[in-house]
Amino acid sequence: MIDVDEFLGVLNDCGISFFTGVPDSFLNRFCNRLLKENADKHIIAPNEGSAIAIASGHYFATGEIPMVYMQNSGIGNAVNPLASLADKDVYGVPIVLIIGWRGEEGINDWPQHIRQGRITIPLLDIMGISHIVLSEETYHKDVVELVGLCRRNSEPVAIVVPKGLLDGDKINIQDDSYPLGRNTAINTVLDALPQDTFYLATTGRATRELFYLRKERGESGERDFLNVGAMGHTLSVGIGLATARPNERFVVFDGDGASIMHMGAMALAGSRKLRNLLHIVLNNGAHESVGGQPTAGFCIDYSGIASSCGYETIGKYVSTKAEIVAACDKLSGRKTTGFIEIRIHKGMEKKLPPLDYSHKESIERLGKELR
């Protein structure tokens, strides 16, 4: 395990004092330490591609090398600006990437991380991004040399971080900002809508809550899609389903961090006027699945955004059981895509075991129900 303050000291000695990115559980202690930095020197980005662009803007304005943090699943979002903006043959932006290495060979991890783990290093090689794998024994020397290379060549470089060096225990901290937690909010929707509704749950804790709620309720969950990876894309999966099966009802349980990540999907969902699709954002203002770092969720008017995209909304967020039921009832006869923002407090209401199930069997059951 690496001391975060010492690690940041090495970065500061190398001239790195600006940070942006998307939080990752393998970088949990590092990300949480950054929250204590000056707000002008740290920006939590909506997605990894945006983080590369933000970092580029910082470099253009200051000439200082920025750092972008992400999980390796976010490399895909970052490829375009890395290859067509920051690349040494375009604008030559010296950026230091720090990447949590989920799915590393020989480390037990969930199926959604295995392929990404295998291709992490090859992807960096294909893009011509010099990199090191962080080591507790040699990180000081390695980081100094890598940043020096970044500065000399004016190009992106990467620090790949294995499990156990900068991560830490994720603490289940509940607050009292709103009365309901995620579990109760989802359960209330399940009770309020017809039993033949299909449900999609976004990456992270929403999938775990829905899965174990089904067990508690004695239900099979065969009409559920658990989007265990592909953060930010659950709504797009829902658009595909609702378009293909116009006579079925679909509900997307989204998160504030996930919905912000690829918000363009809201414009598509609204413009398609999918009366059989209800988009619900469970908003706790945090990236709770990776450590609780804040999002912009409480700073924006979700209902206003949804309405301007063509959704039918109730015009405001809801935060109690009665308000959720009333919102579901009001939108039951809608003529277009529906939207509800449910504000919830941070923290899980109970300790949930890991989500352990067969992805292939689950999707086969869902396909049978749909077809």
Inter-axis angle of helices 139-153 and 4-13, nearest 10: 30
Taking only the tens place, the pLDDT of each residue in 111-152 is 888 999 999 999 999 999 999 999 999 999 999 999 999 999
Reported as a pLDDT band with limits 50, 70 and 90, residue 189 is: very high
Q: Judge whether 27 and 159 are in contact, CB under 8 Å.
A: no
Q: Rounded to 10 degrees, what is the CA torsion of 15, 25, 199, 215?
A: -170
CA-wise closest residue to 127 among 80, 174, 187? 80
- Percent share of the chain, pLDDT over 70: 98
Reported as a pLDDT band with limits 50, 70 and 90, residue 265 is: very high
CA-wise closest residue to 305 among 254, 362, 371, 358? 254
Residue 322: pLDDT over 80: yes
Amino acid, res. 119: I
Count CA within 13 A, CB hemisphere, residue 360. 1
Reported as a pLDDT band with limits 50, 70 and 90, residue 171 is: low
Q: Judge whether 286 and 294 are in contact, CB under 8 Å.
A: yes
Taking only the tens place, the pLDDT of each residue in 267-318 is 999 999 999 999 999 999 988 878 788 899 999 999 999 999 999 999 999 9
Mean pLDDT of 94-109: 93
pTM over 0.85: yes
Reported as a pLDDT band with limits 50, 70 and 90, residue 247 is: very high
Taking only the tens place, the pLDDT of each residue in 5-64 is 999 999 999 999 999 999 999 999 999 899 887 777 999 999 999 999 999 999 999 999
CA-wise closest residue to 261 among 71, 59, 32, 97? 71
Q: What is the rounded distance in angstroms from the CA atom of residue 350 to the CA atom of residue 317? A: 25
DSSP string over 191-208: HHS-TT-EEEE-TTHHHH
With residue 340 as reference, give the H or E element that holds it.
Answer: strand 338-343
Side-by-side strand order, sheet with 198-201 = 224-226, 198-201, 250-255, 277-283, 338-343
Count CA within 13 A, CB hemisphere, residue 135. 7
Answer left, alpha or beta for residue 204, where phi above 0 means left and psi between -120 and 50 means alpha. left
Q: Judge whether 66 and 51 are in contact, CB under 8 Å.
A: no
